[in-house]
Amino acid sequence: MPRAIAIALLGGTLVPPLALPTAAIAAEAQSLVEALRTVAGSRPGVRPTFAKGQCVRGTYAPAADVGQVTRSISFTRPWPVVGRFSVGGGNPSVPDTTRTVLRGFSIKLLSDGGETHLLFENAPVHFARTLDQMLAFLQVRVPGPDGKPNPEAIAAFAKANPETARQAAFVAGRPLPGSYAGLVYWGVHTFTGINSDGRAVPFKFKIVPRAGEIVVSDEEAKGKAAQFLADALREQLSKGPATFDVVALLAEPGDDLGSDITQRWTNEDDRKAVTLGSIAVTGIEPNETCDQGIFDPGQLADGIDAPKDEIFAARRTAYGISFGLRTP
């Protein structure tokens, strides 16, 4: 195994640091992190969002058609993978039976010579259209003197900003996830692949479990432990890898390529898609491996261009800020 990969698997330090942000982006990102931490209760050493999770390891294997979308070394060759499944929110003890929070899947494709980090969640849209709206969404949820947010203020904000309810409505309308390995995950931003012919190909990521979706009924949920997702994952992996297809949903003429990530593309799930490859989660990794660094959404190997929307730019900066605040 190349030295760079071995170090990265141990949570090492060969990943280049984040590019210096503009003053405006840095200020916005700082405000977002502060708001997230306040809403989450400012727990020392804890992520302000997706605080609960399980680090895993695995492998990536490219598919035959990957070159139609990208020439990236991360996707056109097989590599080790470090990943993290997670539950949304800033409470590391949130019960897995909580229906109203997101589930996440972050990965690092440990391609020697240029890593790619990607963040996915089990909803195809974000909860805010702009940075200002995202910050206002969080600030209205800051607890008052009684330790609780003002439900009337939240309702008023949602009425004035209906697009901010789309993500929550999608999650609430789905059955309770029964397994980290039985969920469809999306990347809500539009990336641009540079394919083997040098052509730009706008697309969105979709991660599809080969085992199909695994859900739990409301009645079954009553008997589930608060940590059942990690327990179920360990049981599944004891029988063999949990495999996902990495799919590129291709943009069509007229699609919004980033100005509003609270909306899906028309017929998004029925349009042309290209399978880039597959991820096989093969084992549980100590959480320290994931906690010693960040999944940097701006870390992309040549052949995948970053999304152009302002929320993506702030998110990649915010991850660095957040890591600094939770690290002793």
Sorted by where each begins, the domain ranges of the chain are 3-326
pLDDT tier at 24, thresholds 50, 70, 90:
low
Query: Which position has the token pair 């008023």?
Result: 156
pTM given for the model: 0.89
Is a pLDDT exceeding 60 seen at residue 14? no
Q: Which two three-digit tokens encode residue 38?
A: 């306040």
Give the residue with greater pLDDT, 32 vs 22: 32
Query: In sequence order, what are the beta bridge partners of 259?
Result: none
Give the residue with greater pLDDT, 15 vs 28: 28
Instruction: Give pLDDT tens digits for 223-251.
Output: 999 999 999 999 999 999 999 999 999 99
Is residue 247 a contact partner of residue 206, using CB atoms and an 8 Å limit? yes
Question: What is the average pLDDT value for the chain, to the nearest integer?
Answer: 89
List the beta strands (DSSP E) in 199-302: 200-209, 215-216, 242-250, 273-284
Q: Which pLDDT score, from 0 to 100, does residue 322 have?
A: 76
Q: Which pLDDT score, from 0 to 100, does residue 313 have?
A: 86
Lowest mean pLDDT among 12-16, 105-109, 192-196, 314-318: 12-16
Fold of 3-326: Catalase HpII,  Chain A, domain 1 (2.40.180)
Q: How far apart are CA 175 and CA 244, in angstroms?
A: 20
Q: How far apart are CA 35 and CA 54, in angstroms?
A: 25
Is a pLDDT exceeding 50 seen at residue 5? no
Q: Which of 55, 52, 49, 45 is nearest to 319 (CA)?
A: 49
Q: Cβ of 294: how many Cβ atoms within 10 Å?
A: 22
Q: Phi, psi (5° rounding) for residue 110?
A: -85, 60
Q: Which pLDDT score, from 0 to 100, does residue 323 have?
A: 78
Is a pLDDT exceeding 70 seen at residue 6? no
Is a pLDDT exceeding 60 seen at residue 182? yes
Q: Which pLDDT score, from 0 to 100, does residue 38 have?
A: 82
Is residue 326 a contact partner of residue 46, using CB atoms and an 8 Å limit? yes
Q: What is the mean pLDDT of residues 76-103?
A: 95
Q: What is the mean pLDDT of residues 289-293?
A: 91
Q: How far apart are CA 311 and CA 297, in angstroms?
A: 11
Q: What is the mean pLDDT of residues 142-171?
A: 94
What radius of gyration do the chain's Cα atoms show? Answer: 19
